[in-house]
Amino acid sequence: MQKLAQSPLLFERFLYGLVLVDRDGGVAYLNRKARQLLIPERARTAGGEWTCCDLLCSRLGPVLGGGCMSQRVAEAGAHLPEVRIDIEGGRQQTAAWVSASTLAPESDRLLFHLRPGSPGDRRRRTPPEWSSQVCPSQRFELQIVTLGRFGVEAANGPLNGEWLEQRPGQLLKYLVGERRRIVSADQIAEAMWPEAGVDDARNRLRYYVHVLREKLEPDRAFRSPSRFVVARRGGYMLDTSQVWIDADEFEREVQAGLTALDQGLAEPAATHLAGALDLYRDCFLAEDPYAEWAHAERERLQELAGRALRAKVQIQVKLGDLNAVAKHARRLAEMEPFDTDVQKLFIEICMRRGRRSEAFRRYAALRKRMVANFGLEPDFDLAALESEA
C-alpha cells in the first residue's frame, strides 16, 4: 500500500477507493473511486478542503462508537479493522468495507481503503475493543430476491407463505420496483387497484400496508414505526438502507466490472461480471410478466445484463476460450432474439467451433423471426460467415 500511495497513477487507477489522510485528519488525496463513493455528485466540482471526519468518521461513528478514526488509528499504532458502512448516493444506495492503517511506523499519513459492499449485509468485522456499541440498524434486516423466483428472508430465516403471491406480496414487489423514492398513495392505489374508486383504493392500501408490515416485522411493537415500509409525505417507500436486494447487488457488480474493463483490468473485471451474471438468474420479477409497473425496471436491468454478457464475451475472445465465449454468447442470443449483431456473433462462434448444424438452425430460426415480425431478411449471409470461419 505504501508503494501504491506513492504512485499517483496507480493510486488513481486502483480498482477500489483510496483516501490518503494526514495525521491531523486533513484529506491529502482521494482517488476517483473514493470520490464517487463518498462525495455527492453535486459537490465534486465545488472544491474546498475535506477532512476524514467529513467523509468517513461521521459514517463509521455509529459502528465504532464515535471519534476521529485517523486519531484512533494513530494513537493505537494499529490498523482499523474492516467495517461496513452504508452510503446514500442519490437513487442508488451503496456500501463499502472500510479499513485504515499507517503507511509506515514513521509516516505522518494514513491510508483508508474502501472496497464495495452490499447494503444490508449482516456481517460487521468489528472487534470489541473498537466498538462501544452495536449499530441498532443491524438488528432487523431483509434480503429480497427479485432476479428469478421472488423470495424474502429475514435475519431468522425465509419469510414464506401464500402472502407473497397475494396483495401484501404484490405491494412489496411494487415498492421494490420503485425503491429509493417515495411513491404517493394515489400512485400506488392506481397501480394496484385501477378499477377501484379513490376512497376504496386508499382504504385498501392502508390495510395492505398494515398487513405487509406485520409479515415483514412480526415482532414489531404496537404503533412503533416500521423499519422497512415507511410513510413519508403522503406516500410510502421501502427503506433500502435496511434491505439487501439482489438487483442492486447485480447492478453494483456490473458497474464495477465495466469500470475495471475500461481501466484495462481484465481479471477483476471478469470476477465482477461473473458475480453479476450469477445473480441474474432471470429477469426482474419474472413471475409477474404482465405487471406494467415492473416493465421499466425489468428492461433497465436486462439492458445491464446484456452489457455484462457482451463484456464477458469480449474478455473471453481475447483469451481465446471459445467454449466460455459460446456459453455467454448463447445466453446473450437468447436474451436478445431480434438483435442481429448478437445473433450473428453466436452463429459465427458456432461456425468457429465446428458446430455447423447448430449454426444453420440458429440462422433459420432468426430468419423466420425477422420475416414474421418485420418482413425483413437478416442483414448477414450464412454462407459468408461459413467462408470466414
The predicted-structure confidence for 234-243, as pLDDT tens digits, reads as follows 899 998 877 8
Question: The dihedral of CA 165, 171, 177, 179: what is its sign?
Answer: negative
Does the pLDDT value for residue 251 go beyond 80? yes
Q: If you average pLDDT over each of 19-28, 263-272, 277-286, which comes out highest?
A: 277-286
Where in the chain are all domains bearing CATH 1.10.10.10? 139-301
Please give the Cα distance from 246 to 153 (Å, whole number).
Answer: 12
In degrees and rounded to multiples of 5, residue 90 shows phi and psi of 75, -130
Task: Give the right CATH number for 320-389 from 3.90.320.10, 1.25.40.10, 3.40.190.10, 3.40.50.1370.
Answer: 1.25.40.10
CA distances from 185 to 99, 141, 280, 288, 303 (A): 42, 25, 31, 22, 30
- Res 344: pLDDT: 92
List every span in the chain annotated with CATH 3.30.450.20.
2-133
Query: What's the CATH code, domain 2-133?
Result: 3.30.450.20
- Hey, is 100 helix, strand or coil? strand
Report, at the CATH architecture level, how domain 139-301 is classified: Orthogonal Bundle (1.10)
Distance between CA atoms of residues 204 and 198, nearest Å = 10
Which segments of the chain belong to CATH 1.25.40.10? Answer: 320-389
- Determine the residue type at 28: A
**In the chain, which ranges are E strands?**
17-22, 27-30, 80-87, 94-102, 109-117, 142-145, 151-154, 157-158, 183-184, 229-232, 235-238, 243-245
Q: Which of 125, 85, 88, 106 is nearest to 23 (CA)?
A: 106
User: Would you state the pLDDT for residue 233?
Assistant: 80
Choice among 4-8, 102-106, 217-221 with the minimum mean pLDDT? 4-8
Interhelix angle 246-262/266-279, rounded to 10 degrees, is 160
Residue 129 CB neighbours (<10 A): 9
Q: pLDDT at position 43, please?
A: 54
Confidence category of residue 124, pLDDT binned at 50, 70, 90: very low
Rounded (5°) CA angle 85-89-95? 25
Q: What is the pLDDT of residues 3-21, one digit of tens each?
A: 444 555 667 777 788 888 8
Is 90 exceeded by the pLDDT of residue 298? Answer: yes
Of 312, 216, 204, the closest CA to residue 258 belongs to 312
Digit-coded pLDDT (tens) for 45-54: 445 578 888 8
Res 325 pLDDT > 80: yes
Minimum mean pLDDT among 28-42, 157-171, 276-290, 358-372: which range? 28-42
What is the percent of the chain where pLDDT is above 90? 36
| Higher-pLDDT residue of 7, 180 | 180
The predicted structure's pLDDT at residue 175: 96
* 1: pLDDT strictly greater than 50: no
Cα-flanking dihedrals φ and ψ of residue 297, to 5°?
-70, -35
Q: How far is the C-alpha of 337 from the C-alpha of 280, rounded, in Å?
A: 18
**How far is residue 178's CA from residue 252's CA, in Å, rounded to a whole number?**
18
